[in-house]
Amino acid sequence: MKDVCKPKGHAHECDCGKECLKVEGDRAVIDLSLSPAQPMHYTTLNCVMRKAMRRGCSSIELKGVMGQRYLASTASAPDLYIAVHGTPGNDLGAFLNGPTIEVFGNAQDMTGNTMNSGRIIVHGNAWDVTGLAARGGQILVKGDTGYRVGIHMKEFGGSRPTMVIGGTAKDYLGEYMAGGTILVLGLGGGAPVGRSLGAGMHGGRIFVRGTVGLEQLGPGAAIVPLSPDDEKEVRGLLGEFENAFGAEVPGEMSEYVKVAPSSSRPFSGYYDKTNV
Amino acid sequence: MNDRKDREVRTDRLGMPVQAENYTASRPPGWQGQLGGCGIASCISLKGGRIDGDRIARMLTIMEERENGLGAGYACYGLFPERRDQYCLQFFFDDEEGKQAVEDFLDGRLDILHDEKVFLRERSTISPPYPLVWRYFANVPHAREWRGTRDLGEEDYLVELVQHINERVPKAFCVSSGKDMAVFKGNGYSYEIADLYDLGRYSGTMWLSHSRFPTNSPAWWAGAHPLSLLDWGVCHNGEITSYGVNRKLVEMNGYKCTVLTDTEVVTYLWDLLVRRNGLPTEVAAFVMAPSTFQEISLLPPAERRLAEWLRITYKEAFLNGPFSIIVGRSQPDISLIALADRKKLRPMIAGLSPNEEVAYCASEESAIRIVEPDARTWAPGAGNPFIAVAGKGIVRRGTEPSFQGVSL
């Protein structure tokens, strides 16, 4: 029989009777090893986290995270800092609106799904579909990422998502990208990006340190020279990456390639009846 | 709402009863709006050591969110060291009648050396009925004749027998039929199945596992994964959109589709491509998840010819649609193969223990971390197989170029 450690209905309180949340001042520590159900269910953990947020904590430290999904999703306190020790599950920080999440380990898939603002810092790898549909905020990944990273990122008004990947990204990076910036550093060797790069992109920009072959570009993407504004943006992002991870990054601008949309309507004529 | 019990039986044009329930404004009971996807996990001892059944159960059950209680299963390889060279046929029977029918059929067709009841707990949270699970250890006789064909190969003969039972013998289903391996599966949550079979009592060199979230095929005991034929075991997350054309290919080659799910064609394709047609594992993986013709055009000439030849020869073996699969076999060596589709639309993470003795493959990194907190993990590429062989180590990490190591 499996231990149950699930919240009661929608009361946002778990019912196990053991307190895994400890609050000192405005700092909260949630130790998952105290849960009777191993691993703790993600609905329970998210309820405990929301409890800490309601108490006005400005810092939440999670210990022993093991695949729990949707952590800090929709969290919206701008000054909140969340430290995650362990392996967070899919959709970490989905719809995040303000807080900073720092992961000391690897993140799974769909980190920062549709995030609005805030920061997600991953000190390991963040696998497939990281930062999908992000519409603001920043994602920094020290290691590698997987496939379809940053698909359909978009920007509007003052919201402009940025993502820096220290290692490599695989195929379909920035597919259908409508705005924002992705920077791939390719530290640690290997091809920095895969194939179908920026397929169907009609906004935003992708900077890659290293070489990008024309055969790697998806339809709608083109290699264009870096403008002085672009160089300034890349230097700014490199500074943030160095601050977050304490890692030195080569800043020679001639090593960077910019990939941008070849037009604002990459599929013009595909679906437009008047153009058939 | 009308009373569901007092209505006429609905029939189709052939007069067969139609079982589909219909719901209008009231939700169908037992369904929750949730996103899921099957979970797969596996581990292999690279030095041929033994891994406890509890370990794979912990790996699989942590991905609880990926399943909905409609099927889970485990396959263990290197399970019967003292009967390593005998075929182990494991069956589900509805009742004693099915068992008798199978024993009558096998009488004279196989040399059964030993048979035993597979342990099943009497109480479980899974709703009954449970099948009777039985295993037979057998050798294949020297005189092998099936429907007028004499001197069939041992394995071809066994495939014919197993498929005949699954297609024709009522109240019986053969869930695994390989050497030195067995499949433990059923229609429940991963932790329920592990508990029902008491997996802790088993240990083996390699484990495959699967928790199911069926999207387009019915949930039933024999339809849970791993789906197995001979020593092949396949766990699959995703959909085989090309099921129709794949099914035609395997049926033309004598396989019978009896499980009502798309995954079984993958099992038969591995058997057809690797055992019968003799393709190397990497090449068979390329056949199932090939590069695009644009990518092929960029390969060196010899590899390009091979790739084009494979795509043309085996075009019906191309698995279209999103999938990640974990495949195991025990002959000639216990080996683990993990493969994702060519766009990697389903997750797959590989890992290696710090002492480099155990390799892992799973849908989620947490499945590896819960049993090996300090594992080194990496993501095998799209359409790029991870291959590990007991006694040989990791043959392929899944990050190499397509035909590396294949003699052209």
Q: Does residue A17 belong to any structural domain of this protein? A: yes
Chain A partners within 8 Å of B367 (Cβ): 67
Chain A partners within 8 Å of B322 (Cβ): none
Q: Report residue A107 CA to chain centroid gap.
A: 9
**Minimum-distance CB partner of B366 among A2, A87, A215:** A87
Q: How many CB pairs under 8 A join A and B?
A: 64
Q: Does residue A253 belong to any structural domain of this protein? A: yes
- Per the prediction, chain A carries an average pLDDT of 90
Q: How many domains does chain A have?
A: 2
Kind and range of the H or E run holding B89: strand B87-93
Please tell me whether residues A81 and A184 are part of one structural domain: no
Q: How many domains does chain B have?
A: 1
What integer pLDDT is reported at residue B395 of this predicted model?
Answer: 94
Please tell me whether residues A238 and A156 are part of one structural domain: yes
Q: Does residue B7 belong to any structural domain of this protein? A: no
Per the residue annotation, which of B38, B76, B257, B361 is the catalytic one? Answer: B38
**Minimum-distance CB partner of B382 among A2, A89, A171:** A171
Enclosing domain of residue B50: 39-396
Residue of B nearest to A127 (CA): B379
B38 catalytic residue (yes or no): yes
pLDDT in tens, B73-108: 999 999 999 999 999 999 999 999 999 999 999 999
Q: Does residue A244 belong to any structural domain of this protein? A: yes
Torsion sign over Cα B152, B156, B160, B165: positive
Q: How far apart are CA A206 and CA A261, in angstroms?
A: 9
Q: Does residue A259 belong to any structural domain of this protein? A: yes
**CA-based nearest distance A211→chain B, Å:** 17
State pTM to two decimals: 0.89
Residue B31: is its pLDDT beyond 60?
no
Residue A10: is its pLDDT beyond 50?
no
Residue B30: is its pLDDT beyond 60?
no
Q: Does residue B30 belong to any structural domain of this protein? A: no
Contact B403, B290 (CB under 8 A): no
Q: Does residue A196 belong to any structural domain of this protein? A: yes
Q: Does residue B10 belong to any structural domain of this protein? A: no
Q: Does residue B26 belong to any structural domain of this protein? A: no
Question: Between chains, do A170 and B370 touch, taking CB under 8 Å as contact?
Answer: no
Domain final residue, candidates A109, A137, A163: A109
Q: How far apart are CA B159 and CA B272, in angstroms?
A: 11
Q: Where are the alpha helices (DSSP H) in A110-201?
A: none
What integer pLDDT is reported at residue B122 of this predicted model?
Answer: 85
Question: Between chains, do B347 and A127 touch, taking CB under 8 Å as contact?
Answer: yes
What integer pLDDT is reported at residue A276 of this predicted model?
Answer: 47
Please tell me whether residues A136 and A33 are part of one structural domain: no
Residue A197 carries which DSSP code? B
Q: Which of B67, B366, B399 to mutate to test the interface with A (most CBs of A within 10 A)?
A: B366
Strand ranges for B60-171 from DSSP E: 72-77, 87-93, 111-117, 132-139, 145-146, 149-150
Task: Specify burial of residue A34 (Cβ count, 10 A radius: 0-12, 13-18, 19+).
Answer: middle
pLDDT bin (cut points 50, 70, 90) of residue B70 is confident
Phi, psi values for residue B236, rounded to 5°: -140, 135
Please tell me whether residues A176 and A95 are part of one structural domain: no
Please tell me whether residues A172 and A216 are part of one structural domain: yes
Question: The CATH number of the domain where B97 resides is what?
Answer: 3.60.20.10
pLDDT in tens, B49-59: 999 999 999 99
Radius of gyration of chain A, Cα coordinates, nearest whole angstrom: 20
Contact A109, A129 (CB under 8 A): yes
Question: Between chains, do B298 and A195 touch, taking CB under 8 Å as contact?
Answer: no
**Minimum-distance CB partner of B364 among A2, A41, A67:** A67
Q: Does residue A248 belong to any structural domain of this protein? A: yes
Q: Does residue A209 belong to any structural domain of this protein? A: yes
Count of H-run helices and E-run strands, chain B: 10, 21
Enclosing domain of residue A167: 125-266
Please tell me whether residues A76 and A132 are part of one structural domain: no
Please tell me whether residues A10 and A91 are part of one structural domain: yes
What integer pLDDT is reported at residue A2 of this predicted model?
Answer: 47
Domain final residue, candidates A85, A109, A133: A109
Partnered with residue B44 across adjacent β-strands are B206, B359
What integer pLDDT is reported at residue B33 of this predicted model?
Answer: 47
Query: What distances in angstroms separate CA B114 from CA B90, B117, B134, one per listed residue?
Result: 12, 11, 11
Domain final residue, candidates A77, A109, A141: A109
Q: Which two tokens stand for residue A209?
A: 């340190």
Question: The CATH number of the domain where A174 resides is what?
Answer: 2.160.20.60
Residue of B nearest to A85 (CA): B373
Q: Does residue B220 belong to any structural domain of this protein? A: yes
B346: Cβ–Cβ under 8 A, 6 or more apart, which residues?
Answer: B37, B237, B238, B322, B323, B324, B340, B363
A274: left (phi over 0), alpha (psi -120 to 50) or beta: alpha
Chain A partners within 8 Å of B64 (Cβ): 41
Please tell me whether residues A212 and A243 are part of one structural domain: yes
Q: Where are the alpha helices (DSSP H) in B289-346?
A: 293-296, 301-313
Question: Between chains, do B369 and A90 touch, taking CB under 8 Å as contact?
Answer: no
Please tell me whether residues A104 and A163 are part of one structural domain: no
Please tell me whether residues A139 and A254 are part of one structural domain: yes
Please, which residues 213-272 of chain A have a Cβ atom closer than 8 Å to chain B?
A: 215
Please tell me whether residues A95 and A158 are part of one structural domain: no
**Minimum-distance CB partner of B370 among A66, A170, A171:** A66
Residue with tokens 């849960």: A35
